[in-house]
Amino acid sequence: MRKLHQLFTACALGAITLAGSALAAEPAKDLTGKQLAFDKTKGNCLACHAMPTVPDAESPGTYGPPLIAMSARYPDKAKLRAQIWDATVANPSSSMIPFGKHGVLTEAEIDKVTDFVYGL
Amino acid sequence: MKQKIIMKLLTGMAGLGMVLGVATAYATPEQDKQDLIKFYASKFPNVKLEDYVYGALALDPDSKAQYDAIMEFPPFDSQVEAGRKMWETPFKNGKTYADCLPNGGKQIAGNYPMFDEAKGKVVTLEDVVNDCRVANGEAPFKISDPKTIGLLGSYMRTLSDGMIMNIKVQGPKAVAAYEDGKRTFFSRRGQLNFACASCHVQNAGNHLRSELISPVVGQAVHWPVFRGGDTLVTLQNRYTGCFKQVRAVPPAEDSAAMNNLEYFHSAMSNGLPMKASVFRK
């Protein structure tokens, strides 16, 4: 099923703001947490979140709140990971993608993204 | 759909794109539209209802100014002109589109999609054009093909400029089709777990990266659009694009699912004036 989603994405029409071609990113490149968060075919967090402390986090979207002072706001890192894994647990009408639950990111990728976001 | 009800709709649909028995008491299309308008009015108190036809441009004066400049000398004029030639060229039997469409094809686009009682389903203006071709011994066009029915539509629909969108939903079968389209609009789907409403209701006016998101009210009146100035995109092409964006498998264009979606979606623009064709980036 995952493959099918990716196939359809790969031939999407017009300007794609959210889901780039996942196929292109398939070869097991070792992306850092930041790269995973920025990559349009992976986390694409910037589509929705500003990161005010990251200088190259350019033209972010406004669906979600700015990601800042995260370790202070999430003393429990597991909670932060859980938000990224499936935001609809905390807020059933969330428009944030359930990255873990829907297999958009692997468990290892979520760990890396969590570490990166925790440092913001 | 006040804020609470909209959130409830989306909440009920959490999960893998499947919605089962969403608990919505039946509301008339007029009530649904008024609830949306009320919801947007609280978000965008300064946007006039008649400006919703401009979509995201209504929320961004700079882009709207650019749009106005482009629309003075539309880069897609030659395509609309080609559409006019298609419209005027008689079939092999000597008849024309004007002979077989209601009212000679003028001031009709705002009635479509329409629930056709005889066929027991929703028909789009494109379906009616194809029926007209077949009745006159011509092969039907491939649905949504930008080079044929798209071009023809880019001219044909100008004959309805200024007509007020007037989608009627009467009788139990029409209501069922409308409800089906509404359910599609509010159902989460795809790997990325979005409903149409997640973006065009809940996040209208927000930016998705650098894209400003338009409200659903006013979205259906101005098709086809020419993206980048010359790439013709029909309304159902746009639906397909939005489905794919969330990694969902789109229903086929002209399927009952798509036509019912267009039926609901168009009814949310009832009362606004039609205008073909326009520029989009």
Residue A18 and residue B233: Cβ atoms within 8 Å?
Answer: no
> Which residues have C-beta within 8 Å of that of residue B131, sequence separation ≥ 6?
B123
Give per-residue pLDDT as tens, B10-69.
544 432 222 323 445 578 999 999 999 999 999 999 999 999 999 999 999 999 999 999
Please say if the pLDDT value at position B107 is more than 60: yes
Give per-residue pLDDT as tens, B74-92.
999 999 999 999 999 999 9
Is B242 catalytic? The answer is yes
Contact between A19 and B246 (Cβ < 8 Å): yes
What is the pLDDT of chain B when averaged over all its residues? 91
Per-residue pLDDT band at B2 (split at 50, 70, 90): very low
Which pLDDT score is estimated for B4?
53
- Cα–Cα distance measured from residue B134 to residue B130, given in angstroms and rounded to the nearest whole number: 6
Q: Which residues in chain A land under pLDDT 70?
A: 1-29
Which chain B residues are Cβ-neighbours of A9 within 8 angstroms? Answer: 244, 247
User: Helix axis angle, B29-43 relative to B3-12, nearest 10°?
Assistant: 110
Q: In this complex, is the C-beta atom of B198 within 8 Å of any C-beta atom belonging to chain A?
A: yes
Q: Which of B184, B209, B201 is nearest to B122 (CA)?
A: B184
Which chain A residues are Cβ-neighbours of B10 within 8 angstroms? Answer: 92-93
Interface mutation target, options A4, A6, A7, A8, chain B, most CBs of B under 10 Å: A8
Q: In this complex, is the C-beta atom of B229 within 8 Å of any C-beta atom belonging to chain A?
A: no
Q: Are strands B278-280 and B225-227 parallel, antiparallel or unpaired?
A: parallel
Which chain A residues are Cβ-neighbours of B11 within 8 angstroms? Answer: 92-93
Please say if the pLDDT value at position B97 is more than 70: yes
Which chain A residues are Cβ-neighbours of B202 within 8 angstroms? Answer: 93, 95
Q: In this complex, is the C-beta atom of A2 within 8 Å of any C-beta atom belonging to chain B?
A: yes
Question: What are the helix (H) ranges across B24-163?
Answer: 29-43, 61-72, 77-88, 97-100, 125-135, 151-156
Residue B245 and residue A17: Cβ atoms within 8 Å?
Answer: yes
CA angle B46, B270, B159 (to 5 degrees): 105
Q: How many CB pairs under 8 A join A and B?
A: 95
Residue A19 and residue B246: Cβ atoms within 8 Å?
Answer: yes
Name residue, tokens 């909670």: A79
Residue A8 and residue B207: Cβ atoms within 8 Å?
Answer: no
What structural domains and CATH numbers belong to chain B? 27-73+168-280 (1.10.760.10), 77-160 (1.10.760.10)
- Cα–Cα distance measured from residue B177 to residue B277, given in angstroms and rounded to the nearest whole number: 27
CA angle A11, A13, A14 (to 5 degrees): 135
Contact between B174 and B257 (Cβ < 8 Å): no
- Cα–Cα distance measured from residue A3 to residue B194, given in angstroms and rounded to the nearest whole number: 19
CA A21 and chain centroid, separation: 15
Say what percent of chain B tops pLDDT 90: 90
* Residue B113 vs residues A100, B155, B221: alpha-carbon distances, Å: 39, 18, 12
Please provide residue A47's backbone torsions phi and psi, each rounded to the nearest 5 degrees: -60, -30
Residue B247 and residue A60: Cβ atoms within 8 Å?
Answer: no
Q: For the whole model, what pTM was predicted?
A: 0.90
* Residue B6 vs residues B60, B134, B200, B202: alpha-carbon distances, Å: 25, 42, 12, 8
Give per-residue pLDDT as tens, B136-147.
999 999 999 999
Which pLDDT score is estimated for A29?
67
Which pLDDT score is estimated for B7?
52
Residue B245 and residue A12: Cβ atoms within 8 Å?
Answer: yes
Interface mutation target, options B226, B247, B249, B281, chain A, most CBs of A under 10 Å: B247
Among the partner-chain residues B14, B202, B207, the one whose CB lies closest to the CB of A92 is B14
Chain A residues 68-87 with a CB less than 8 Å from chain B: none
Among the partner-chain residues A9, A63, A102, the one whose CB lies closest to the CB of B244 is A9
